[in-house]
Amino acid sequence: MIIAVDGPTASGKGTISKRLAKHFTLPFLDTGLLYRAVGWTLRDQGGNADDPADALAACIFDGTLLDNPGLRSETVGGLASRVSIHPEVRRALDKRQRDFAYQPGGAVLDGRDIGTVIAPDADVKLFVTASSEARAVRRFEEMKRRGEPANFDDILADILKRDERDKNRSTAPLKPAQDADLLDTTDLTIDAAVQQAIALVNARISGRHDKDPA
């Protein structure tokens, strides 16, 4: 079974995906980490994130980089969003994601274009959203917990900028697949969101999903 989980930054999709993978005993790939690794490598190489050739050169990185907690920083997230607009970069990361998705037994992948581009025939597609304010609060609290300096207005502005770029790029923009189930986590605790996600997956795989609720 392939479960595709897409959505904007800080929507809760990462935690939901991990918990789905555990619940359904499936391997999990956070595809954002691949773009973050490109952003990190590009910075190391002194490249320009807006230059497609520099960004493509940064697609060659050692797999161990994916375990580096530094990839989670806001700066690297911003670089990841910038390099991800280049079709060359998306192509370079494509096979790795497809191979993971289509491994025997299936997988859970989270990202922006999993249900639309990487695994368009996934068994289940979830599109996880939350208001930009709720996402900024979560990001703010997460940064505080990590002891990083955090300013709410800057975080909100950054989230809005990142959404704008992810949604409006010409290749593989962030958008729900036509047959995706939407999950708005704005007013949900993470446990409630996970329970709803599990229920949506079960409904899809048991064929009970009502595509046109009255």
Measured CA to CA, the distance from residue 156 to residue 152 in angstroms comes to 6
Residue from the set 12, 47, 77, 106 that interacts with ligand DC by CB under 6 A: 77
- All residues at 6 or more sequence positions from 158 whose CB lies less than 8 Å from its CB, including other chains: 74, 78
Determine if 113 is a binding residue for ligand DC (CB under 6 A). yes
Total interface residues for ligand DC by CB under 6 A: 14
The least distance separating ligand DC from the CB of residue 13, rounded to whole angstroms, comes to 7
Q: Which stretch binds ligand DC (CB under 6 A): 51-59, 107-115, 134-142, 148-156?
A: 107-115
Q: For 28, phi and psi rounded to 5 degrees?
A: -130, 135
Q: Which stretch binds ligand DC (CB under 6 A): 73-81, 125-133, 177-185, 199-207?
A: 73-81
Tell me how far apart the 2 most distant CA atoms of the chain are, in Å.
Answer: 55
Determine if 128 is a binding residue for ligand DC (CB under 6 A). no
Determine if 31 is a binding residue for ligand DC (CB under 6 A). yes
Measured CA to CA, the distance from residue 35 to residue 84 in angstroms comes to 6
37 with 71: CB under 8 angstroms? yes
The least distance separating ligand DC from the CB of residue 84, rounded to whole angstroms, comes to 3
Determine if 82 is a binding residue for ligand DC (CB under 6 A). no
Residue from the set 17, 81, 185, 196 that interacts with ligand DC by CB under 6 A: 81
Determine if 111 is a binding residue for ligand DC (CB under 6 A). yes
Start-end of H helices in 102-205: 132-145, 152-168, 190-205
108 with 27: CB under 8 angstroms? yes
Could you list the residues that contact ligand DC (CB under 6 A)? Answer: 9, 31-32, 35-36, 77, 80-81, 84, 111-113, 162, 166
